[in-house]
Amino acid sequence: MGRITDLLSELARREKDAGIFPEAEVDLFMKATAIEGIESSLITDYTLKILGLDICRDTIVGGDMLRGISGGQKKRVTTGQLFSHFFSSRFDFSFVLAG
């Protein structure tokens, strides 16, 4: 946990020095997801909320033989899967210490 704390402190210092004042919700989300153990649940919860899927979070997607979420919700699930893949392959805070 010490390394993450150092990383977040350095990030906050650099933001302040550069005069960057990020939007509070986005800043909190980005920094909270840097903490191991809660990253995936925060990203999942936030993605569901952004896509409007939080209301059907425990509903089966369904298919031809089983009724589930609506067609529009299915499309947003696909978008969420792509978004999730993007986050898992590109989400990295190592750039903060690099420069």
Taking only the tens place, the pLDDT of each residue in 43-86 is 677 778 888 888 888 888 888 888 888 989 989 888 888 877 77
Closest CA to 56 of 73, 42, 40: 73
Domain boundaries, the chain: 2-98
Predicted confidence band of residue 96 (pLDDT cuts 50, 70, 90):
very low
Q: Over the stretch 1-18, which tens digit does the pLDDT of each residue have? A: 457 677 777 878 888 898
Transcribe 26-89 into DSSP letters: HHHHHHHTTSTTTHHHHHHHHHHHHTT-GGGTTS----SSS--S-HHHHHHHHHHHHHHHHHHH
Q: First and final CA of the chain: distance in angstroms?
A: 22
What does each C-alpha distance from 44 to 7, 14, 38, 82, 95 come to in angstroms?
A: 23, 28, 10, 12, 23
Q: How confident is residue 39, by pLDDT bands cut at 50, 70 and 90?
A: low
